[in-house]
Every structure is written in C-alpha cells, then in structure tokens.
C-alpha cells in the first residue's frame, strides 16, 4: 500500500500527463490545419479518411449511448467495455484526423443561405468543444479505470455531454460538407 506522499507524487504525475496531452493535442491539430504546406505521404488514399472518420464518430456515439444504457442498468462490466470502446475509437479517430489534415487541404463549405450559418455554428461549436473535451474525458476515464467512482461521476457530468455533442456534430458536419469534397 502506498503512503500519502507516494499517492501525492502519483496524482501530480497523472495530472501532469493529462494536462500535457489535453494541451498538446489541440495545439498539434491547430498547427496541422494552418500549416502553409501539407505533408506529402504518397497516394490519394488520405481522401478516404473523412468518410472513415464519420464512421468512427458514429460508432463512438453508439458506444457512448450504450455506456449510459449499461450503467443505468447496473451492468458495470458492459459499461466499461462500451466506454473503453468509445475511448479507443476516439484515439483511432484522432490519428486518422491528424493524418488527413497533415496531408490534405481543408475543404470549403459551398452551401448558401441559412444552411451556411447552421453549418458554421455546428462547426465552430464542434471545434471549440473538441478542443476542450479531451481534458474531462481523460479524467473521467482515469477515475473510472482506477475505481475512483465518486470522482468519475462528478467529471462525467461534464465529459459525457461534451463528448456526445462532439461525436454527433462531427458526423453532421461531415454530412453537410461531404458534397463539396473534390476527391
């Protein structure tokens, strides 16, 4: 059993890693989106990635909703499986997203009128919430994984709705912009 000093050091390390990852990922994504020239990684296969990302986000949405269903049914093991699946899908999505935006130019939305305003509202709220979502998601996952259920529940109040909004709006934004992809 660890003493209090050992737990404090461990907590500081976990806090440091979660903070580091939560800051690094949005910065990396911003750099990739705004870098002057894209990385050449070969073929045109990267243009398939937005479609894959929409599938991944859809599956993550389902996993998140199943996670809530299972925990409300008292099926803790299935809840953990669902949430770990959503977490893993989020990691795969992030890798795919980074590869795509490192290699491909961003697509402009071609819609006009009220649909344009709706698209940009969804896109901007999606981006802002995606940038901040990682911090509470990592804490929620850590607390759940380590059995700190009281802390897990308090963080999930914020993490879950943000995460769900980001996965759902990611698919909606994809569906709205997909007709304008040139590849």
Q: Give the pLDDT score at 169.
A: 97
- Residues 101 and 46: their CA atoms lie apart, in Å, by 9
Q: Which two tokens stand for residue 19?
A: 């903070």
Counting beta carbons within 10 angstroms of the beta carbon of residue 45, is it exposed (0 to 12), middle (13 to 18) or buried (19 or more)? exposed
- Residues 100 and 97: their CA atoms lie apart, in Å, by 5
User: Would the pLDDT of 22 be above 70?
Assistant: yes
When divided into structural domains, the chain yields a total of 1
User: Would the pLDDT of 2 be above 60?
Assistant: no
Cα-Cα-Cα-Cα torsion 104, 110, 114, 117, nearest 10 degrees, comes to: 30
Q: Give the pLDDT score at 147.
A: 92
Q: Give the pLDDT score at 80.
A: 96
Using pLDDT thresholds of 50, 70 and 90, give the confidence band for residue 4: low
Parent domain of 115: 4-180
The alpha-carbon radius of gyration of the chain (Å, integer) is: 18
- Residues 131 and 141: their CA atoms lie apart, in Å, by 17
Q: Write the CATH number for 58.
A: 1.20.120
> 10 Å Cβ neighbour count for 47?
15
Long-range contacts of 123-127 (CB under 8 A, 24+ apart): 123/169, 123/173, 125/165, 125/169, 126/165, 126/166, 126/169, 126/170, 126/173
163 in Cβ contact with 42 (< 8 Å): no
| Average pLDDT value over all residues in the chain | 90
User: Would the pLDDT of 157 be above 60?
Assistant: yes
- Residues 66 and 72: their CA atoms lie apart, in Å, by 10
- Residues 181 and 107: their CA atoms lie apart, in Å, by 6
For the four alpha carbons of 128, 132, 134 and 139, in that order, the dihedral sign comes to negative
- Residues 147 and 105: their CA atoms lie apart, in Å, by 43
């Amino acid at each position: 059993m660890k003493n209090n000093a050992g737990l404090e050091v461990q907590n500081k390390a976990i806090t440091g890693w979660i903070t580091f990852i939560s800051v690094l990922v949005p910065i990396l994504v911003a750099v990739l989106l705004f870098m002057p020239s894209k990385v050449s990684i070969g073929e045109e296969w990267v243009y398939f990635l937005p479609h894959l990302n929409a599938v991944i986000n859809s599956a993550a949405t389902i996993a998140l909703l199943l996670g809530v269903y299972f925990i409300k049914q008292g099926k803790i093991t299935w809840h953990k499986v669902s949430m770990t699946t959503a977490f893993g899908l989020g990691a795969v999505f992030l890798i795919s997203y980074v590869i795509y935006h490192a290699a491909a130019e961003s697509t402009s939305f071609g819609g006009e009128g009220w649909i344009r305003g709706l698209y940009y509202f969804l896109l901007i709220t999606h981006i802002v919430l995606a940038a901040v979502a990682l911090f509470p998601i990592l804490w929620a996952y850590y607390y759940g994984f380590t059995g700190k259920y009281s802390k897990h529940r308090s963080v999930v109040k914020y993490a879950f709705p943000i995460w769900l909004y980001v996965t759902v709006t990611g698919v909606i934004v994809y569906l709205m912009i997909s007709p304008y992809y040139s590849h």
